[in-house]
Each structure stands twice: as structure tokens, then as C-alpha cells.
Amino acid sequence: MPTYSVILDARTAGAQLPRSLVILERVTGNWKEAHELLLVDDTGDRRLPDLARRHRATLLPCIAPTQGARLNAAVDASHGELLLFPGLVDRRVLEWLSDWLPEVEAERTWDVAVLPVHRDGRLLRWWGWMQRTASGVTFWVDRTWFELIGGFDPQLDSEAPADLLDRLRACGARLWRADHDMARYKAQCPPQGGHCRG
């Protein structure tokens, strides 16, 4: 069975960090496989060591100025074969990680699994598509693929997750995206160009 590394960026999580840690601790407590919860931090907030201890997370101080560089540093310190990058952690994410992952992991047919942010209404979905960002998106990445494409671009900040997903798709990773109703899952469309960076 694979091992899991759950990686959170304290700066990106912001005020939602305590709630996110509660949810993720609840999810990982039900996993039978080996897992770790890593919290990378460049803020120096003195409350974080206690918060991390309370939720069984490993705090990784980091001076990198961009999200891409911080997440790369956290991956370097991690041990999991599958890497989870939680976006907006809410009840939907809790259900996905609790119910879907154990069912599918037995016969995994993906290298990347994505749970997009749920946006109600056509206008919001259109706006999300126009922005082309992965802000708030929760996704798993196979460590081999993460390393193959060189990880996150360390020059990028909030755009780093979207860039990583674009490069993974362009390089032929098997990418699965959860449907809005979470009842079934479908493959992403074929790659539309892009470049691999290794």
C-alpha cells in the first residue's frame, strides 16, 4: 500500500488553517495506510508550533518567498508515495478524501486526481475557467510524476498549483477529475500542448 503525505502551506491557508487542520486530522485518522501531515510556514507565527502539535502535524519553517518554492521544500522533507495538496478544505473535501480515496486506491488508474472548487451558477464556472488557476483546488499527485516534471515552479506564487497541473497533463500523466456530484469520475481531455520541465 502507498504512503501518503498531506502538505499544507500556512500562508496560503491563512485564517482557515485551524479549521483545515481539524478536518484533515479527522480524515487521516481513518486512513489505515502510513501518512504524514506537513505544515510549511514562512510567517514565523508563534502560535503555529502549538497548533501543529495539537493536530499531529510536522511544522516545517521555510524562508522561501513563493508558494511554489515552499511546497517544493515540503515535498523534499516528505516521505509519501502520494502527495496531497489540499486547497479550500471543506465538507466536500472531507467526503472526497474519506469516501472516494479508499475505494479507488485499491486499483488506482490515475497519476493525478483533482477535486475542483465547486462553483454554483454559469457565471461563476465561466469566471473560474477564465482565471485558469488552481486556487482552492485539492489534488493528489504520484510522487514519481511530481519529481519527473521537476515539481512546482519555484518562481511562481499562487499560480504554482495551476502550472503544475498544466505540465502534468501536457506530459501525459493520467489525470482524473471528480464530477460535481461526486457520484462518478471521468478522465480529463487529452493534452493540448504545453511543456515538460525536468
Query: Mean pLDDT throughout 115-144?
Result: 63
Strands across the sheet with 112-115, in order?
58-61, 35-41, 4-9, 82-85, 138-142, 112-115, 175-178, 185-187
Is residue 126's pLDDT more than 50? Answer: no
pTM: 0.82
pLDDT tens per residue across span 25-82: 888 877 777 889 999 999 999 999 999 999 999 999 999 999 999 999 999 999 999 9
Return phi, psi of residue 107, to 5°.
Answer: -135, 70
CA distance 171 to 150: 12
Asked if 108 contacts 145 with a C-beta cutoff of 8 angstroms, the reply is: no
DSSP at 97: I
Q: Which amino acid is at 110?
A: W
The per-residue pLDDT for 103 is 57
Q: In which band, very low, low, confident or very high, does the pLDDT at 161 lie, cut at 50, 70 and 90?
A: very high
Grid cell of 58 as nine digits? 510536522
Q: Is 7:83 a contact under the CB 8 Å cutoff? A: yes
Pull the grid cell for residue 8: 499544507
Architecture of domain 4-187: Alpha-Beta Complex (3.90)
**From CA 177, how far away is CA 198, in angstroms rounded?**
24
Hey, where are the domains in the chain?
A: 4-187
Q: Which residue in the block uniquely carries the three cell numbers 475505494?
A: 103
pLDDT at 184 over 90: no
- Report d(CA 180, CA 190) in Å as an integer: 20
